[in-house]
C-alpha cells in the first residue's frame, strides 16, 4: 500500500523471481524483524486465535501485517500473510478487515480468513506493526 492508500498493481521482484523476503512468509517476518535493519516491531506474538484477548485484537491497527498458520501443533512455518485494512477496535476478529494476494481477498473479515484455514482452535496468528507503510524505509 502506498502513502495515499492505493494498492500497488505491480509485483515486487526481479526477472529471476522475487526476493526471498517478498516471496516467502517466514523470510518476510525474519527480514522485517531483523536486529540489523528492522522495518517493524512484532506486537502480537505467536498465539492460538481462540486464545487471543480482545485487547490484543484492539492493538492491531490499519496497515499492520498479520501472519497465520494452520495446525499449530506441527510447528511448521507461517504460510499466509495479510495486510490490515481496517480495525473497528471492538475486540473481535469479525470487525477486523484484511487483504491478501488476490482480487477475491480484498477487505475480508479476519474471522472469515481464520475459518477458511480451520478455525480459531487450529490457527496461530502473529502481528507486526511496520515502521512505515513503505517497508523499504
In this model, does residue 12 exceed pLDDT 90? Answer: no
pLDDT value of residue 115 = 93
Top pLDDT among 128 and 105 is at 128
| Structure letter (DSSP) for residue 13 | -
| pLDDT for the residue numbered 31 | 80
Count Cα atoms within 13 angstroms, Cβ side, for 56: 18
* pLDDT at residue 8 in the model: 47
pLDDT recorded at residue 103? 60
Count other Cβ atoms within 10 Å, centred on residue 106: 14
Rounded to 5 degrees, φ, ψ at 56 are -65, -40
Strand order in the sheet with 80-87: 40-48, 123-130, 65-70, 80-87, 96-99, 108-109
Q: Average pLDDT for residues 60-65, to the nearest whole number?
A: 92
Mean pLDDT score across all residues of the chain: 79
Q: What mean pLDDT comes out for the span 110-121?
A: 92
How far are the Cα atoms of 78, 98, 134 from residue 116, in angstroms, in the given order? 15, 14, 29
> What pLDDT score was predicted for residue 99?
92
Q: Would you place residue 127 in the very low, low, confident or very high pLDDT band (cuts 50, 70, 90)?
A: very high
User: pLDDT tens digits, residue range 69-97?
Assistant: 887 666 668 888 899 999 999 999 999 99
Amino acid at each position: 500500500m502506498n502513502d495515499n492508500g492505493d494498492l500497488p498493481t505491480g509485483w515486487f521482484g526481479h526477472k529471476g523471481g522475487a526476493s526471498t523476503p517478498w516471496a516467502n512468509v517466514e523470510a518476510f517476518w525474519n527480514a522485517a524483524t531483523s536486529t540489523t535493519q528492522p522495518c517493524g516491531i512484532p506486537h502480537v506474538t505467536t498465539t492460538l486465535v481462540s486464545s487471543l484477548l480482545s485487547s490484543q485484537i484492539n492493538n492491531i491497527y490499519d496497515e499492520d501485517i498479520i501472519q497465520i498458520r494452520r495446525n499449530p501443533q506441527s510447528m511448521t512455518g507461517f504460510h499466509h500473510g495479510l495486510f490490515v485494512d481496517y480495525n473497528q477496535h471492538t475486540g473481535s476478529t469479525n470487525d477486523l478487515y484484511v487483504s491478501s494476494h488476490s482480487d477475491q481477498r480484498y477487505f475480508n473479515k479476519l474471522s472469515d480468513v481464520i475459518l477458511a484455514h480451520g478455525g480459531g482452535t487450529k490457527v496461530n496468528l502473529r502481528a507486526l506493526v511496520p515502521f512505515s507503510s513503505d517497508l523499504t524505509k
